[in-house]
A and B are shown apart, each in its own frame.
Chain A
Amino acid sequence: MSHKKEVTVKLYSIMNRIRTVEEKIAELYPEQEMRCPVHLCIGQEAAEAGSCAALNDDDYVISGHRSHGHYLAKGGDLKAMLAEIYGKETGCAGGKGGSMHLIDLNVGFIGAAPIVGSTIPIGVGVAFASKLKKENRVMMIFLGDGVAEAGVFHESLNLAQLWNLPVIFVCENNLYSVYSPMHVRQPDTRRIVDLAAAHGMDSHYADGNDVEVVYQLTSDAVKKCRNGQGPVFIEFSTYRWREHCGPNFDNDIGYRTEDEYQVWRKRDPVALFRSKLINDYKFDESEIVKIEHDFKDQVNDAVKFAKESPFPDSSNAELHIYA
């Protein structure tokens, strides 16, 4: 397989992986067996898959509340993820964390925590230590549009630029913080990316629903970071299809419109890239169907694993308070 084709397959596979897992969670969530909040990222797969595909296995990712896509894109263990959401002993955090606290250190997924903005400085700190230890690893910090309103965002950008750290800030701007639209939160006289530029940072804005654009931009950013040329900030425009938290669509409750959703729905990052594979890159559709089919089986296996895994012993609740 040519390198170009290899990358193409990888990008589609990761996007398909995220979409399939998230759809499965949405399907099963009403069973009330996943007894924690879930923040699904359906609609944002390209920004997540394209960014993580640009990283090496030993590079780092850190994330916030909507982290399923980042975890999966970085190669996080699927069984451990689903088991965690089901609150099981075999979960990646032993059932202590749930959907908002995924972790897989084997693939450099440092962790996720749902206080908006809080993992940004922690990611910067990992990058600082990594740089000091001369590891030549890159830290990719995922954040959303709401973070740009928080002090910790500016403090972290200031420091990453000041200390010239190998950090890529990937901002997925999906236009809403829970139900609050951008226009009640931020002035329309500047973009988020401009804030990063104001910190003196190399900053970019792009279509986050085009996985190839995402991959190209983040690959360039990775190169820069590896060469010791400091942090990069990229804002990707995108859209979450479903409600802020939970499995449903919520275009009918009054904070956004069905029309707006349909505009973004037509720009489905997974479907767009799938047609491109067939029409432009002349993939045989059966190749794609095979990728999709194989992964569906993996998801079903992982769900079975999660459901059949035992709950942790209640005494585990008192484990790991102190190291």
Chain B
Amino acid sequence: MTRKIKYFEALREAQYQCMEADKDVYIMGLGVPDPKGIFGTTTGMQEKFGADRVMDIPLAENTMTGVAIGSALKGMRPILTHQRVDFALLSMEQIINQAAKWHYMFHGLHKIPMVIRMIIGRGWGQGPQHSQSLQSLFAHIPGLKVIMPTTAYDAKGLLISAIEDDNPVISLEYRWLYGISDSVPEEMYRVPIGKARVLEEGKDITIVATSYMTLESLRAREMLQERGVNAEVIDLRTLRPMDTETIINSVKKTGRLVVADTGHKMFGVSAEVLAVVLENTFERLLNKPSRVALPDYPAPTSPALCDDYYPRAGHIAAAALEQLGKAVDDKLFALPTDRRLDQPDSKFEGPF
């Protein structure tokens, strides 16, 4: 049966059902069993599955990643959770040198089935070290898989696939998505890793987006529709392995491309998607493609400094209109009347 639940509930349900289905699945992370339970994604889990399978940990991100790897070598399926991607940076050595390499460098003798959940993006004024979107760091590394679910439906289906996968999978969850509802089946289901999703078909331009920028892209599509442009919106969903086929096929059809990513533009996902398109279907492009992503400086904290930092639907629509040689009007950048720009909706409040 399908019902509406929020993104964070979908993540929780995915873990819950995997824990029920496989006794080798376990969860650990700072604050996992605490009253807040990683923004509600692990609440009640320790009560249900016990302290052996749902664990708080010392403040030792690097070592705990190694411990997760070691347990995965023994056939367990750890889910290691970080409340922010920024904290996970302390574990990059274990992730890149160890988790991503052991299957390869030992010629297939070891497998590392593990999931590392990391929360990315804006919260409530989280600033330079609590709101980064560092997907391209992970997506650069062969041996890792990287998922970025946008909808609650995909959050559940992709996380289940990740937990059942025999490789290290990085799950990047944008904080502003946590409170958004979607129709989600109650039973277990899988969304395949490595498949993008065409959310809306269109013929004039392709918008490839990641995570929260997919929602902005859907808004942009409406803006474009009002201006006589029919955009196709693709949610990338997985960065590695990347579904290049879906992207290329779409651009072959529309001849135009905008990429909207939650991370930095320089050396980012948007650069990779552009490269894929240029290398594979350059001749079908009708204009130079464009990118909508974060500028080349760290995330500030004050809302006054953030308003121009984060691109939104209007910027995506404007990029599309420019490619089509159409006028860009001020209405695209009209401010919302029911909220400040530093909130995803008027109900979103602090302190996180």
Contact = CB atoms under 8 A, between A and B. Distances in A.
Interface in A113-130: 113, 115, 118-130
* A103, A111, A121, A128: most-surrounded residue (chain B CB, <10 A): A121
Contacts of B345: none
Contact-size category for A:
35 or more
Interface stretch (B55-63, B197-205, B317-325, B332-340): B55-63
Interface in A289-323: 319-323
A227 to B, nearest CB: 20
Nearest to B63: A155
A127 B194 CA distance: 33
Nearest to B110: A111
B256 interface: no
Given A118-B97, A162-B58, A111 B70 contact: no
Interface string A1-15: 000000000000000
B104 to A, nearest CB: 5
Interface stretch (B73-81, B127-135, B211-219): B73-81
Interface in A88-128: 93-97, 101, 103, 105, 110-111, 113, 115, 118-128
A95 B69 CA distance: 23
A162 B64 CA distance: 13
Contacts of A136: none
Contacts of B106: 93, 96-97, 101, 103, 111
Contact of A124 (B66, B93, B109, B142): B66
A320 B103 contact: yes
A93 B70 contact: no
Contacts of B57: 159
A130 B63 CA distance: 17
Name the residue among A127, A128, A319 with the largest chain B CB count within 10 angstroms.
Answer: A128
Q: Which of B66, B94, B104 has most chain A Cβ within 10 Å?
A: B66
Given A118-B97, A121-B94, A323-B167, A94 B70 contact: no
A152 interface: yes
A224 to B, nearest CB: 21
Interface string A114-152: 010011111111111110110000000000000000011
A125 B71 contact: yes
Contacts of A323: 103, 108, 111-113, 166-167
Contacts of B97: 113, 115, 118
A20 interface: no
B103 A125 contact: no
A306 to B, nearest CB: 16
A119 B97 CA distance: 11
B229 to A, nearest CB: 39
A235 B251 CA distance: 62
A159 B74 contact: no
A119 B67 CA distance: 9
Contact of A158 (B52, B60, B143): B60
Contacts of B109: 93, 103, 105
B282 interface: no
Interface in B154-176: 166-167
B107 A129 contact: no
A122 B104 contact: no
B300 to A, nearest CB: 30
Nearest to A113: B98
A219 interface: no
Most buried by A among B60, B63, B64: B63
A97 B105 contact: yes
A105 B65 CA distance: 22
Given A125-B68, A321-B142, A118 B107 contact: no
B43 to A, nearest CB: 24
Interface string A218-253: 000000000000000000000000000000000000
B73 A118 contact: no
A156 interface: yes
Contact of A156 (B66, B72, B102, B112): B66
Contacts of A115: 93, 97-98
Contacts of B110: 103, 111
B294 to A, nearest CB: 29
| From B57, B93, B109, B166, residue with most partner A Cβ within 10 Å | B109
Contacts of A93: 105-107, 109
A158 to B, nearest CB: 6
Contacts of A151: 62
Contact of B107 (A120, A156, A319): A319
A97 B97 CA distance: 13
Contact of A118 (B66, B143, B145): B66
Given A111-B106, A122-B98, A322-B103, 19 more contacts: A93-B109, A110-B73, A113-B98, A118-B66, A120-B63, A121-B62, A121-B65, A121-B66, A122-B70, A125-B70, A125-B72, A152-B63, A155-B64, A159-B63, A159-B67, A319-B107, A320-B107, A320-B108, A323-B108
Interface of A: 93-97, 101, 103, 105, 110-111, 113, 115, 118-130, 132-133, 151-152, 155-156, 158-159, 162, 319-323
27 contacts: A93-B105, A93-B107, A94-B107, A96-B105, A97-B106, A105-B109, A113-B98, A113-B105, A115-B97, A118-B94, A121-B65, A122-B98, A123-B70, A132-B52, A132-B76, A152-B62, A152-B66, A155-B58, A156-B60, A156-B66, A158-B60, A159-B63, A159-B67, A319-B107, A320-B108, A321-B104, A322-B143
Interface of B: 52, 57-58, 60, 62-76, 93-94, 97-98, 101-113, 142-143, 145, 166-167
Per CB-CB distance, the 3 closest pairs between chain A and chain B, nearest first, are A125-B70, A121-B66, A94-B107
